[in-house]
Structure 1
Amino acid sequence: MSYIEGVMFDWAGTTVDFGCFAPVNVFVDIFKNAGIEVTMEEAREPMGMLKIDHIRAMLSMPRLSKLWEEKAGRAFNEEDVNQLYAEFEPALMASLSEYTSPIPGVIPVVEELRSRGLKIGSTTGYTNSMMEVVVPGAKAKGYSPDHVVTPDDTNSYGRPYPYMIYRNMEALKLSAVRKVVKVGDTTSDIKEGVAAGVWSVGVAVGSSEMGLSEEEYNSLTAPDQQAAIARTQQVFKQHGADFTIATLAELPALIEQINGLLAEGRRPGSVK
């Protein structure tokens, strides 16, 4: 019988930084400094990508592209992308240490998975220098995966490319993509898992896709919480998620369910 051997977690919005606020606030600020007001929805839409790719994706949005052209008198170019990123990186680095707290429930779930013999890998849209802040910050608070891969380790081919997952699999000696689960909080995470051929799982509460802070989420009524979860899960499903969960607390049981599917000969992408 085939069993899941490892789980690939995203970082911000999945295991740390409830709501994924560290980068989104900076994206809003750098565009505002350039004279363009962006919405939180626009800032979040490409979330999970390598951050320079995220900026390029924002500039490619029809509304923002038009505003940039009106402001600059021409279409945006790579020099504009690089200038915005040059502003983005130091601004993010200045605040990143404040956003390394594990999302509630993450630590016991990881302990449970490890007790079953699973390896814990991780992928991210952050660069190595950013993760030099996040990894030790999270470790000091109780969360530390077995391996970390950033787009810097894959020649800047971040999500939705599958290579960060493959680098984790190699380092952790995982034998097959069907024995790996990818868990994330953005559509980029889902696409990464689908591209890699692993089981792709979207987690709703705390996600960038939901876009609520912990305080905002907890202030909702139970029906409103369920509605927000359902909306977020529907987006993940539309982008190819094999499964969605409300919180990571559901993950150990889901992995048992996937083990049963593997025993039946099922593969990622076969669950509708």
Structure 2
Amino acid sequence: MSPASGHGRTLQAVIFDWAGTLVDFGSLAPTQIFVDAFRSFGIELSLAQARGPMGLSKWQHIRLLLDDPALALQWRQRTGHAPTDADVDAIYAHFMPMQIAKVGQYSQPIEGAAQVLAWLRGQGLKIGSCSGYPRQVLDVLLPMAADQGIRADHVVAGDELQAGGRPGPYMALANMLALKIDDVAGCIKVDDTVPGIEEGIRAGMWSVGVTLSGNEVGLTRAELDALPATEVARLKEQAQHRLRAAGAHYVIDSVANLPEVVAHVRARLAIGERP
């Protein structure tokens, strides 16, 4: 960490991911739909495989899955040819209405999320957000989340920037522009996936990884509560390792733990540190 030339920088905004970070404990909505969509093409995809590229835009996610040698072999055996971009288009076209139909079932806020958003606003901070979800899916999710106290000042969807999505910095930076933030170091990016952490790092922001509520652990609250404490600790440690390896400055169990990170980042900014 190198000191900035000037002191007294301030925190201005927090930019959140959606599934697994603010809503949908375990990031289940996208995962199960990938499995269902691939099965409709005769391809068997495990939940663990489906989670691999999570955080990317959904088209890119499907492309990366089809690039996996085992899945590419299945595809070749089913169709007689290697998977093409046209095949990705076909799966995506099948995936989209399934995702739109199902996203509402998984729109419940993560415990503490509404309270943390209210607290951040009380601190004078702006709330940005971005998602691997396309805009059509967010159009269904956002009103449901808002009814539960989960709303952002700006939302960028995974399919609406010409420059692309994660792991590039573009969605995070688009939030900066929209919210009129004048310094990337004045932003915290919160995400539960490796590409989402890389997005924040590439944007020059403080990046916070989320473990227990997110894709890296990938369990419902009930599934997690049913596990012995030693197994929860093991899963959490694995997730922490992957998120820190991606560059996360901080790693927390869930969004409910964010206020202590905010205080820490503010103190570091005040003495001239940058991410």
Partner of 1:104: 111
Deviations 1:162-219 (A, max 9, x none): 1111111111111111110000111111111111111111011210111101110111
Distance between the aligned counterparts of 1:200 and 1:37, measured in 2? 34
- 1:182 paired to 2:189: yes
Distance between the aligned counterparts of 1:181 and 1:231, measured in 2? 23
Partner of 2:13: 6
Q: CA deviation at 1:252?
A: 1.0
Distance between the aligned counterparts of 1:85 and 1:152, measured in 2? 12
Q: CA deviation at 1:226?
A: 2.2
Q: CA deviation at 1:134?
A: 0.6
Q: CA deviation at 1:14?
A: 0.5
SS in 2 for 1:151: coil
Q: CA deviation at 1:71?
A: 2.3
Partner of 1:231: 238
> Does structure 2 conserve the Cα–Cα contact (< 8 Å) formed by 1:123 and 1:165?
yes
Call closer, same or farther: CA 1:42–1:156 in 2, change over 3 Å.
farther
- 1:31 paired to 2:62: no
Partner of 2:5: none
Distance between the aligned counterparts of 2:200 and 2:70, measured in 1? 29
Partner of 1:153: 160
- Residue 56 of structure 1: which of 44, 54, 63 is its match? 63
Partner of 1:137: 144
Amino acid at match of 1:163: Y
> Does structure 1 conserve the Cα–Cα contact (< 8 Å) formed by 2:111 and 2:256?
no
Distance between the aligned counterparts of 2:34 and 2:161, measured in 1? 24
Unaligned runs of 5+ in 2: 1-7
Partner of 1:86: 93
Call closer, same or farther: CA 1:156–1:150 in 2, change over 3 Å.
farther
Q: CA deviation at 1:28?
A: 0.5
Partner of 2:264: 257
- Residue 116 of structure 1: which of 105, 115, 123 is its match? 123
Call closer, same or farther: CA 1:136–1:179 in 2, change over 3 Å.
same
Partner of 2:3: none
Q: How does 1:173-212 map to 2 (within 5 A)?
A: 173-212=180-219
Deviations 1:17-43 (A, max 9, x none): 111111111101111122221111110
**140-149 vs 255-264, which deviates more?**
255-264
> TM-score scaled to structure 2, two decimals?
0.94
Q: CA deviation at 1:153?
A: 3.1
Unaligned runs of 5+ in 1: none
* Aligned-residue CA RMSD (Å): 1.3
SS in 1 for 2:21: coil
Distance between the aligned counterparts of 1:146 and 1:153, measured in 2? 17
Which runs of at least 4 in structure 1 moved beyond 6 Å after TM superposition? none
Amino acid at match of 2:136: S
Identity, % of aligned pairs? Answer: 41
**Residue correspondences, number:** 268
Q: CA deviation at 1:156?
A: 6.4
